[in-house]
Amino acid sequence: MAPKVAAGFVIFRYASSKIEYLLLQTSYGIHHWTPPKGHVDPGETDLMTAYRETQEESGLKKADIKVFEETKTTLNYKVKGKPKVVHYWLAELINPDAKVKLSNEHQDFKWLPLKEACEISGYQDMEDVLNKFDEFLRKERNL
All structural domains of the chain, each given as residue ranges with its CATH number in brackets, are: 4-140 (3.90.79.10)
Give the residue among 3, 57, 17, 50 at the shortest CA–CA distance from 141: 17
Cα–Cα distance measured from residue 117 to residue 34, given in angstroms and rounded to the nearest whole number: 9
Q: What is the pTM of this model?
A: 0.94
- Mean pLDDT computed over every residue of the chain: 95
Q: Cβ(7)–Cβ(88) under 8 Å?
A: yes
pLDDT digits 0-9 by tens, 15-58: 888 999 999 999 988 899 999 999 999 999 999 999 999 999 99
